[in-house]
Amino acid sequence: MIETFNKPWGKEIKYAHTANYVGKILHVKEGERLSVQYHHKKDETMYVFSGKGFLHLYTMDEDGDPRLSSSVAFTEGVQYHLPPRQIHSLEAVTDMIVLEVSTNNLNDLVRLKDKYNRI
């Protein structure tokens, strides 16, 4: 069953959901950003279908706050694997369509910072 979820940054379409994996299409609007987040168990890979942006990667500083460690240019055709506990955020420079495949750990989300105050 295909499900669509409106998000403050755009929308998410879940097109596959099994006991082992989940497939999503993320439509991220120009200038928007997903939360700075990580997952305890969820293992995911993202693939940029269209658009331009950045995948920001973070580490934790000594105070327990996320510190930007690097940014990956996220353009059409680029894929990136995010293992559990990798702190990350996606930022769209233009409208983006990102394909995401992950393990079936949908409630495994720890938000550290969020532009839309969803922490």
| Closest CA relative to residue 118, chosen from 26, 16, 7 | 7
pLDDT, tens digit, 9 for 90 and up, residues 5-37: 999 999 999 999 999 999 999 999 999 999 999
Percent of the chain with pLDDT strictly greater than 90: 95
What pLDDT score was predicted for residue 114?
94
What pLDDT score was predicted for residue 104?
95
Rounded to 5°, the CA angle 22-26-30 comes to: 165
| Closest CA relative to residue 90, chosen from 102, 105, 75, 101 | 75
This prediction has a pTM of 0.93
In the numeric block, the tokens 């499900």 are attached to 3
Show the domains of the chain with their CATH numbers.
Answer: 3-113 (2.60.120.10)
**What value does the mean pLDDT take over residues 78-82?**
98
Beta strands in 1-119 (DSSP E): 3-7, 10-17, 21-28, 36-38, 44-50, 52-60, 66-75, 79-82, 87-92, 96-103, 110-113
What pLDDT score was predicted for residue 1?
87
119, pLDDT greater than 80? no
